[in-house]
Amino acid sequence: MKAKGLFDEVSSKYLLDKFLTVNGKMDPVKVHLAGTEVLWIKCDLPNIVEKEAFAYILPLEASLQQLLSHPEVLKYVLNPAEQSTDGFLKDVCDGSFYKTHPLFSSDRQAIVLVLYFDDVTTSNVLGSKIHKFSMFYWTLCNIPPHLRSTLRAVNLYGIARTKDFRKFGAEKIMSVFLSTVRKLQNEGLKIVIRPGQERIFRGDLLFSPGDTPAAQLLGGFKEGAGGANRPCRRCDATKDSMQLHFVESAFTLRDKVSHEERVLTVTDGTITKQAAKHWSTEYCIVGRSIFSCLENFDPTKCLPQDFMHVVLIGILPLEIQEFLTYVVRERNLVTLKQSNPCISAHDYTHISRDKPSAVDDAHLDSSLRENAVQTLALGHVLPFLLRAKIEHDSDAVDRLNNLILLMQIWNLCLTFKFQLEDVALLEKMILKHHSVFKTVPGCETYSFSTFQVNCLNLVL
């Protein structure tokens, strides 16, 4: 007797559709993008064919209907948590942006949406072909923070091949999502919350986090921000001024009104291409944001920077690399043969599967071969593992203390509770760290992103 396979129940499209229907899952909707791809097919009779470009989405309205029929989720929406009154910020809903939002400030039971966009790469382990997809996810801020980022609280909205998404733009795949958000803003959505009981919910998109390329793309900014004179999407800092000043008050923050004026200038069809290119390079703007149809969405405020990419894949590995180069090569205070066993033997508890790998001598010339979590772990344990070996060298200690200060900045930005008074402390810590870091030989020309300076406004 043949054993039943794990995927026998979904071995065909018919069986898969039946399984989804029986288990209350939604069928994805195919969205035709504006165009086709011409392919050269190599076979016995070579031929040129047109392949249609398309995406798949799970419509937001149907997803909300299914999600709000869940008693636990509905409970969180209808019974919002009390906003903090003790001076601590514990959730995005405690921030000033939420409290002054035209809808959320007056309707605490409104649906609060957060949208996330990123690319994902898949491949066949038996082959070399790589497939890259662009994916949109959303979640409800009505759900408590400790549950909000769990896998079951994150909902897929859409997926498309990245090359199709880049070629034909985000308008087609996002049109259904944005039209539903506009409906939530205005007349609201009628949702069946219990059998025979309906309720109209209003709501809005609060913000859309993402890494720099994703946020720049959705916001209508240049993805290659480094080529712009004013590369920050939150302020008007120039490439030169952001290397001289490390406090937010030194810069003029962008706002929705002036941003819209600049968009009109860049997209003005009556000016020459050279003029349009000049203003695009000056302000780091290429066009209108995909969210421009949402009246409460401000591209200069609602596309917050990604802490992980800016710190854990940005300045932190660079500073660790610089510190190790100094104590290993320049001062001969410790060797990699001495430090690597200590790094490997350390107990990393809940992140043990992502413990840092050994640092080779070649890594000090190129870059550390660590992922974000490994870099975070390494940044936390190095001070404990190496301080005793370098404490007689004052310069090495100063560099280590600056690394510790960077880790404190990271931990303060990612803390679960934040006091308003901590903003002033954070500003002083950033100023001190950056000022010291720029005095290190070889680091004078490092270009701080303005987020590594200009994050204070995001906290509030």
Q: How many CA atoms lie within 13 A of 33 on its CB side?
A: 26
Q: Which segments of the chain have a pLDDT < 50?
A: 1, 450-451, 453-454, 456, 460
Provide the b/e sequence for 448-460 (b: ≥16 CB within 10 Å).
bbbbbbbbbebee
CA distances from 187 to 10, 22, 181, 203, 314 (A): 40, 32, 10, 10, 44
253 DSSP 8-state letter: B
Provide the sign of the torsion angle of the four alpha carbons 171, 174, 180, 181, taken in this order: negative
Strands 130-140 and 88-89: unpaired
Could you tell me the residue ranges of all domains in the chain? 57-207, 220-304, 307-459
Provide the sign of the torsion angle of the four alpha carbons 263, 265, 270, 273, taken in this order: negative
Per-residue pLDDT tens digits for 99-112: 999 999 999 999 99
Number of neighbours of residue 8 by Cβ within 10 angstroms: 11
pLDDT value for 38 = 60
pTM: 0.86
Per-residue pLDDT tens digits for 286-330: 999 999 999 999 999 999 888 888 888 888 998 999 999 999 999
Nearest CA among 375, 243, 258, 396 for reference residue 325: 396
